Amino acid sequence: MARESDKDFVKDITRMEDDFAQWYTDVIKKTDLVDYSPVKGFMVIKPYGYALWENIQAFLDRRFKETGHQNCYFPLLIPESLLNKEKEHVEGFAPEVAWVTHGGSEELAERLCVRPTSETIICSMYAKWLNSYRDLPYLYNQWCSVVRWEKATRPFLRTSEFLWQEGHTLHETMEQAQEETLQMLGIYQEMAEDLLAIPMVAGRKSDREKFAGAEATYTIEALMHDGKALQSGTSHNLAQHFTKAFDITYQGRNNVLEYPYHTSWGASTRLIGGVIMVHGDNRGLVLPPRLAPIQVVIVPIAQKKAGVLEHARGIEAELKALGLRVKLDDDDSNSPGWKFNEYEMKGVPIRIEVGPRDIENGVVIAVRRDTHEKASLEREGLGSVIAALLDTIHGDMLERARKNRDEKTYTIDNYETFKTVMAETPGFVKTMWCGDMACEEKVKAETGVTIRCIPFEQEQLGDTCPFCGKPAKHMVYMAKAY
């Protein structure tokens, strides 16, 4: 049967080529990931959307624990006096802070902020707990939500409240803190590629773009379909900025009071937005198999005919026994065609169709969501074939995303070409940079483009900065960003 065009197939989703922002909003709403709450900028994550976060959370939580980290929880509200203890930090977050001023009908003696991040409240507790070098390292993480009062919001990408994890660790030496900082960035990159099928560029943030109060910030950056970058996870070496501000000391190995070295690192629900914008198409979501809440959907054809449902249930049991996430849709109030449309839109990686003729021939029909390829598979040994196919789909999606990123990555050595590319065919730009913050700020003011990172893998693309002509210090990745 001939397939309908994308335009006819999903009439309620704007084509991404026509209006990428509207396409994104349509996909979010049509696939029932979120809904808008009565409070502007705050989203309700519905079960299908939350299942994506649960799978991200499960992957990261496992890796955190494998590397010795423990989960804990700290208060939602932070006294203003604590927030003010680290000047650079409070200045960085002040415009986004939400304040609690009353408890019931009584005005509070001190304002409390709803946490935009937890360095200050956590450091106040670490100052109470830490006594000796024998207590170190502190390897703690918390899963929570934070509030940053955003002016312009978009579900998952930028909301006034979002879910995340934030790790906060203490170490004896700067070298140990740096090792921890890079280790956690590596775990984020591993998660992005092994779970989300999204290739990343990893590196250090410029001083202008680093976290407020950090010695150095490291990031993984992804490129979306529309050529914009998405910061997808950050890890900060905070050195002793916070430990000195909060007077966190311990008895060192030489019986002298010392300040520990501090790291923090976090990833959030904006990763879901990244998955949508890297892999989605004009029919809706395309979910990587290891992330997908439903990996395989089974749609029986002519299910009221004798033996069809029983056969489908046998396939379901076999796949579930292999640990796959499977749904058998035996709802007879919707046609098979409606179900095909629904599960394609929701991004389910594999659809299995089975009807009386397939049963007679000892086969099933399997359809890949990512490529729409249809294949007739032998019923015998189906489980292992489907499991292998899911791995193939993951690898193919990762390679397609890498190919798209590479095709939209430009090497540029002059400012005029840079402006033209960013205006007409946006993507990543690799170029040299002098390291001067004033130069960086000028480029952002004139083009809206920022340095996404100074990549670990440096290339010598020239000797001078194309923006100011001064000697170049680093090769950088630049882009417009969400």
Q: Which CATH number fits the domain that encloses residue 155? A: 3.30.930.10
| Average pLDDT of the residues in 79-96 | 81
| Average pLDDT of the residues in 44-70 | 98
Domain shared by 21 and 149, yes or no:
yes
**pLDDT tens by residue, 182-195:** 999 999 999 999 99
User: Distance between CA 146 and CA 124 in Å, rounded?
Assistant: 18
152 pLDDT more than 90: no
Domain shared by 275 and 208, yes or no:
yes
Domain shared by 101 and 235, yes or no:
yes
**pLDDT tens by residue, 268-320:** 999 999 999 999 999 999 999 999 999 999 999 988 899 999 999 999 999 99
Residue 307 contacts residue 360 (beta carbons within 8 Å): no
Q: Which CATH number fits the domain that encloses residue 457? A: 3.30.110.30
Domain shared by 369 and 259, yes or no:
no
| Cis amide bond preceding 288, omega within 30 | no
89 pLDDT more than 90: no
Q: Which CATH number fits the domain that encloses residue 365? A: 3.40.50.800
According to DSSP, the β-strands at 363-368 and 350-354 are antiparallel
**pLDDT tens by residue, 222-280:** 999 999 999 999 999 999 999 999 999 999 999 999 999 999 999 999 999 999 999 99
* 3 state SS for the chain: CCCCCHHHHCCCCCCCCCCHHHHHHHHHHHCCCEEECCCCCCEEECHHHHHHHHHHHHHHHHHHHHCCCEECCCCCEEEHHHHCCCHHHHHHHHHHCEEEEEECCEEEEEEEEECCCCHHHHHHHHHHHCCEHHHCCEEEEEEEEEECCCCCCECCCECCEEEEEEEEEEECCHHHHHHHHHHHHHHHHHHHHHCCCCCCEEEECCCCCCCCCCCEEEEEEEECCCCCEEEEEEEEEEECHHHHHCCCCEECCCCCEECCEEEEEEEECHHHHHHHHHHCECCECCCCCCCCCCCEEEEECCCCCCCHHHHHHHHHHHHHHCCCCEEECCCCCCCHHHHHHHHHHCCCCEEEEECHHHHHHCEEEEEECCCCCEEEEECCCHHHHHHHHHHHHHHHHHHHHHHHHHHCEEECCCHHHHHHHHHHCCCEEEEEECCCHHHHHHHHHHHCCEEEEEECCCCCCCCECCCCCCECCEEEEEECEC
360, 381, 404 - which closes a domain: 404
The pLDDT value given to residue 212: 87
Question: Is the sign of the CA dihedral 306, 308, 313, 315 positive or negative?
Answer: positive
Domain shared by 364 and 447, yes or no:
no
* Percent with pLDDT over 70 in the chain: 97
Domain shared by 272 and 333, yes or no:
no
349, 376, 404 - which closes a domain: 404
As for how many domains the chain has, the answer is 3
Q: Which domain holds residue 359?
A: 296-404
Q: Is residue 291 part of a domain?
A: no
Domain shared by 312 and 416, yes or no:
no
Q: Is residue 288 part of a domain?
A: no
Domain shared by 181 and 267, yes or no:
yes
14 pLDDT more than 70: yes
4 pLDDT more than 50: no
The pLDDT value given to residue 2: 36
Domain shared by 453 and 366, yes or no:
no
Q: Is residue 262 part of a domain?
A: yes
Domain shared by 133 and 272, yes or no:
yes
* Percent with pLDDT over 90 in the chain: 93
The pLDDT value given to residue 9: 55
404, 434, 450 - which closes a domain: 404
Q: Is residue 442 part of a domain?
A: yes
6 against 240, higher pLDDT: 240
pLDDT-derived band at 10, boundaries 50, 70, 90: low
Q: Is residue 275 part of a domain?
A: yes
Domain shared by 242 and 343, yes or no:
no
Q: Is residue 391 part of a domain?
A: yes
Q: Which residues does residue 161 pair with via DSSP β-bridges, in sequence order?
A: 147
Q: Is residue 206 part of a domain?
A: yes
Q: Is residue 290 part of a domain?
A: no
156 pLDDT more than 60: yes
Least confident of 2-6, 287-291, 383-387: 2-6
Domain shared by 181 and 227, yes or no:
yes
User: Distance between CA 156 and CA 196 in Å, rounded?
Assistant: 15
**pLDDT tens by residue, 197-212:** 999 999 999 999 999 8
User: Distance between CA 10 and CA 15 in Å, rounded?
Assistant: 10
- Which amino acid, one-letter code, is at 366? A
